Every structure is written in structure tokens, then in C-alpha cells.
Amino acid sequence: MTGQLVSIEKELQSKGPSGLGMISAVVVNYQGEQYLEACLKSIQAQDIAVDEIIVVENASTDGSLNLLNTNFRDVTVVRMKTNLGACTARNVGMRAAKHRWVLLVDNDVIMEPGVLGRLSQAVCDNEGAVMAQPRSVFKDDPTRIHYDGGDFHYAGLISLHNFGSPRSGAESPATEEIDVAISLCLLVDKKEIIEAGAFDESFFILFEDLDLSHRLRLAGKKILKVNDAVVLHDAGTAGISFRKETSYPGRRVFFHSRNRWLYMVKNFRLWTLIVAGPGILVYELAWVLFSLKAGNLGSWFKGKWAFLKMFREALRKRRAVQKRRVVGDRQLLVGGPLTLSPNLASGGGTAARALNAVLQLWWSICRWIVF
């Protein structure tokens, strides 16, 4: 009996205060000098100490490296020769991490106290969970929710939960299962993530979290959102993010035009693409018109050309994804609501509502023959 107690005590000690064993943290940085210090200090101040912090430095040309060398000498810096995007950087960081459980954090995220402990506890309490995200709020307006997870929209999009809603009105359980996790801050089981193919590095950025979440859910894996774990999300990467900018970035149009179709080709059944096709194409037409209005039609065409050049590789990846499938498309896909950035929706609210209504109508018709 005494031997059994000693064995249990040793097992608990090996799991550490997180219940998951030691945890590594990986921060992805590109041109993030203005964000990086607050991000790293918030990780260091967590209730559960991480065993190591790795910053994957994506060939920044600002003062990021000088900041790290001066103020964070205990942080491991992995220097990339060129900027290969957030997907590659996260994968490099995960593979460099010493431990199975890894906290992935973007450089413009500030973690409130206790976030890591709550994420860890949620994973421990939910057997089979391989990924957990906190609730994200806008740094310049913490009363409003930015990212709360979401659902898989059949048009190849994320139908976000509580996007832009007041935190006070978003009452929900402390922990809930979701389909789509947003990659700005994630606690992940790197073994499961790598077995699922990790982040698809061909995406570079945008739709990569939707793609990874879909591959995990198709394989029957569990993703959590922890509502009482809150992070502040700052302004993002210039030229990609669209929160404070008045004009929609051309690079974002390119990645949206290319990556949305890469995602659908990999993850949807062929029959789903056929029967949902009219709705998918209606959204594509709306996106073309928006790109034209924004002066980015050239970026839309470049994105489609890039998708065609990557089509054969996407089909190869598709075969691997579909082999792991245990969940059908009807169980995962939704018809709405369509989520648009507030500064986009405010400029074309009537058109956005009409588009959402058309997409929901078509899904209500065709979802019964999706399997």
C-alpha cells in the first residue's frame, strides 16, 4: 500500500503544477518590437511557470532582436533566415520545444494573470482535449470580445462566436467545446498536432487555424474554449491584419483568395463541394465585388492563380486528411451567421445581411443531403 502511495505521489510530481507536466511556450514574432515586451512579461507572470520560452524570430528588421538580447536573455531565440510566415514559425517552435504541451502565443497578445492555469485545468478536466484557447478581447476596448472560437461555415469561412459583442452579455460555461480555435493563443498537445499535420505551411498566414481545427475535428479530436481565461489582443501585423486600418490590405485579399480554396479542397467531401457549390460561388462573387471596390482585384486574381498552382499538392494533402476522417460534414458545417469585420459591415450592412440570408437559405435546402 505504501509503495502504491509513493508511486502516485511521484506521478503527480512528474505532472507538475499544471497537471500536464512541464509546459513550453512559443512566441511567434515578426516586426513586433512594440508588442513583444508586454507579451513576454505576461507569459513570465503566469500562475504556472513555463519551463522554457522560445521566440521564433521571423527575420524582423525592427528592434526585436535587440530587445530580446537586452531584456530577455533567458529566452531562447530561434532566428529564421527569412519570413516564412506564422505557420512555419509555429511548427519550428513546437518541434524545438522540449515538452509535449506547448503554449503558442502571437507577439501582439497579452495574457491576463491565471490564463495558463485555467487552460491547463480545462484540459485536465476534459479527457481527449488536444487544444484549448482563451477568450480574446480587444486591447483598446477590453469590454468587447474579439475571438471566442467559432464554427465551420460551409462557404469556407469561420462563423465566429460573440464577435464584437460585449463581454458582459456573453454568459456561458467556464469551459466549452468548440469547433474552430483561433491561433493567437493556444495550449496544444504538440504530439497530436504534429500527427494531424501541424499548421499547413503553404498557407503562410490566414485560414491556417481554421484548417488545423477542421483536420482535428474531422479526426474526432476535442477542442476547448476557456471563457474565464482572457487575453488582450493588440493591432496585429501591418499589411495583413485589418482592425484599425481604413483600407483593406491587398496582401490579405491575396491570402483570402488563395487559402480559402486550399482549405475547402483539403477538408470538405467532394459531394459537399458540389451540393454547397451555389452558396460557395455566391460568396466568391461577393468577394470579387468587394475586392474590386477596395482596389484589390489584382490581388484576388493573383490569389486564384496561386491556388491553381498549388492544386495538385492540395489534393495530395486531401487524401491524408480524409483518411483520418471519423466525423461527417453535416455534423460540423453550419450555414451562418456570416461574420464580417465591423468596419466592413458598417460600410455595407444591407449587402452583408442579404448575402448572409442567401447563404443561410441555400444551406437550409442542401444540408439534408450532405453527409
Q: How does pLDDT run along the chain (371 residues), one tens digit per residue?
A: 444 433 433 343 446 677 999 999 999 999 999 999 999 999 999 999 999 999 999 999 999 999 999 999 999 999 999 999 999 999 999 999 999 999 999 999 999 999 999 999 999 999 999 999 999 999 999 999 999 999 999 999 999 999 999 998 887 789 999 999 999 999 999 999 999 999 999 999 999 999 999 999 999 999 999 999 999 999 877 667 765 556 789 999 999 999 999 999 999 999 999 999 999 999 999 999 999 999 999 999 999 999 999 999 999 999 999 999 999 999 999 999 999 866 555 556 789 999 999 999 999 999 999 99
Go through the domains of the chain in sequence order and give each one's CATH number. 16-233 (3.90.550.10), 250-369 (no CATH)
Strand order in the sheet with 150-153: 157-160, 150-153, 333-334
Instruction: Tell me the pLDDT tens digit for each residue of 214-241.
Output: 999 999 999 999 999 999 999 877 667 7
Residue type, 246: T
Please report, for residues 26, 29, 57, 155, the alpha-carbon distance to residue 79 in angstroms, rounded to integers and kept in the order given: 13, 10, 5, 37
CA distance 238 to 287: 22
Query: Which helix (DSSP H) or strand (DSSP E) does residue 253 occupy?
Result: helix 250-267
Q: Measured between alpha carbons, how far is 158 from 296 in angstroms, rounded to an integer?
A: 22
- As a whole number of angstroms, the distance between CA 329 and CA 275 comes to 12
pLDDT of 14 reads 47
CB 346 within 8 A of CB 137: no
Farthest CA pair distance, the chain: 74
Question: What is the CB-side half-sphere exposure of residue 129 using CA atoms within 13 A?
Answer: 27
Q: Given this model, what pLDDT does residue 263 score?
A: 98
pLDDT value of residue 81: 96
Give the pLDDT score at 16.
64
Containing H/E element for 125?
helix 115-125
CA angle 361-367-371, nearest 5°?
Answer: 165
Q: How many CA atoms lie within 13 A of 362 on its CB side?
A: 21
pLDDT for 152: 98
pLDDT of residue 9: 39
The residue count of the chain comes to 371
Q: Give the dihedral sign, CA 208/274/316/326.
A: positive
**What is the pTM for the complete model shown?**
0.93
